[in-house]
Amino acid sequence: MADDLETLKNDTLTALAAATDQGAWDSVRVGTLGKSGALTGLLKQLGKLDPQERRERGQALNRLRDELTVAIEARGRELEEEALQARLTSERVDVTMPAPLPVTGAIHPISRTIEEMTAIFGAMGFAVAEGPDIESQWHNFSALNTPDHHPARTEHDTFYLPAKGGDGGEPRVLRTQTSGVQIRTMLTQEPPLRIIAPGRTYRADHDATHSPMFHQCEGLVVDRNITLGHLKGCLIEFLRVFFDKPNLPVRFRASYFPFTEPSMEVDIGWSKASGEIGGGSDWLEVLGSGMVHPRVLANCGLDPSEWQGFAFGMGIERLAMLKNGIPDLRSFYESDLRWLRHYGFSAFSPATLTEGV
């Protein structure tokens, strides 16, 4: 290779090695191979040479151009890679760093308790069902086998809304229980059914232990060959997981609800003196339950000789108070931030069976 080409080659390679960013690299590329680049200039002069010289010089220049093109491209890729690495380092996010705890918000104990119930029953194959807060008397009472003269229907207990067409002009009610969702579910879904229905309920009651608006969680299972054994197994399991007490004593006590036969109230063991759940020798009622009354199944078009079921209903505030040591029902609805910070839950650890309920 002629000396001037050797020099061009060495100068270019040195400049390439010294180019540490894309801009400097581009100047070397243009300065060598560009329209007015050094190598392009030499190629242009070929025409002035005589044929013999032109062939030799031409071959040498072509070789040099190939060599430099490869070197320039390689350096370009190197710089791109370096730039990418630099970005990856400077823009790195440490995903293992704990998120700052929410100082401005917390999950309300009622929402949390609904999440916990959903997680536990969800693991037992239950789906969540919903119904409206404003309900027809038929869904809230009649279809649930509640006679017209039943005390729950009196204005003393129930909020009635002005009659307005539909339902034969019969006034609607603010639902007094979530049990109407049983009816809506049986009317719209084919058995077998396994649902819970958490939601708001309303009664014309207001004192230290009653609020005109409160929450219940309904449960309904309809299938073939369902027995009281299934009801007991399911509710004992739920209560033991919910209170995180594998040996929690659970007692079933005969009772009456219009929509179940037989009906049972369910008590858990606790100590009245210390308030400890599962300890002591006292009993505390926590929910109502029973085998779905054949008339309720028939009201929903199901043949009671083919389908059986069990149902249950519980007060969400009551269970939340017992589990979390919350002494006053009214405090749930006061929106006192100090209370919420104390009894609320972090949004960063939702209720699941693996994270804990």
User: Which positions touch ligand DAH (CB under 6 A)?
Assistant: 177, 179, 218, 257, 260, 288-290, 311-313
- Rounded Cα distance between 146 and 151, Å, is 10
Distance CA 221, CA 237 (A): 15
Structure-token pair, residue 169: 């002009």
**Dihedral angle, C-alpha 103, 113, 126, 283, nearest 10 °:** 160
Shortest CB 275 distance to ligand DAH, Å: 24
**Distance, CA of 173 to CA of 140 (rounded, Å):** 8
* Minimal distance, residue 177 CB to ligand DAH, in Å: 4
**C-alpha distance from residue 269 to each of 21, 195, 285 (Å):** 75, 27, 9
Q: Collapsing DSSP states into helix, strand and coil, what is residue 101?
A: coil
Q: Which phi and psi angles does 215 have, rounded to 5°?
A: -125, 145
CB of 349 to ligand DAH, least distance (A): 31
Residue 346 one-letter amino acid: S
CB closer to ligand DAH, 252 vs 283: 252
Q: Report residue 141 CA to chain centroid gap.
A: 33
Whole-number minimum distance, CB 124 to ligand DAH, in Å?
16
In this complex, which beta carbon is closest to ligand DAH, that of residue 145 or of residue 260? 260
Q: How far is the CB of 127 from ligand DAH (least distance, A)?
A: 16
The minimum distance between CB 265 and ligand DAH, in angstroms, equals 8
Give the nearest residue (CB) to ligand DAH: 313
CB atoms inside a 10 Å sphere around CB 106: 20
Query: For residues 32 and 179, which CB has a smaller minimum distance to ligand DAH in the complex?
Result: 179
* Residue (111 or 177) nearer to ligand DAH, CB: 177
Nearest distance in Å: CB 313, ligand DAH: 2
Q: Which is nearer to ligand DAH, 12 or 185 (CB)?
A: 185
Q: Which is nearer to ligand DAH, 160 or 339 (CB)?
A: 160
Write down the least CB distance from residue 290 to ligand DAH, Å.
4
Cis peptide before 198 (omega within 30 of 0): no
Cα–Cα distance, 268 to 45 (Å, whole number): 102
Interior angle at CA 214, CA 240 and CA 250, nearest 5: 20
Spatial CA neighbour of 290 closest among 267, 262, 268, 309:
262
Q: Which is nearer to ligand DAH, 61 or 144 (CB)?
A: 144
Shortest Å, Cβ 272 to ligand DAH: 23
Sign of CA dihedral 299, 166, 211, 199: positive
Spatial distance between the Cα atoms of 196 and 182, rounded to a whole number of angstroms: 9
Q: Which is nearer to ligand DAH, 12 or 158 (CB)?
A: 158
Q: Give the count of beta carbons closer than 10 Å to the beta carbon of residue 122.
A: 15
Whichever of 126 and 312 has its CB closer to ligand DAH, that residue is: 312
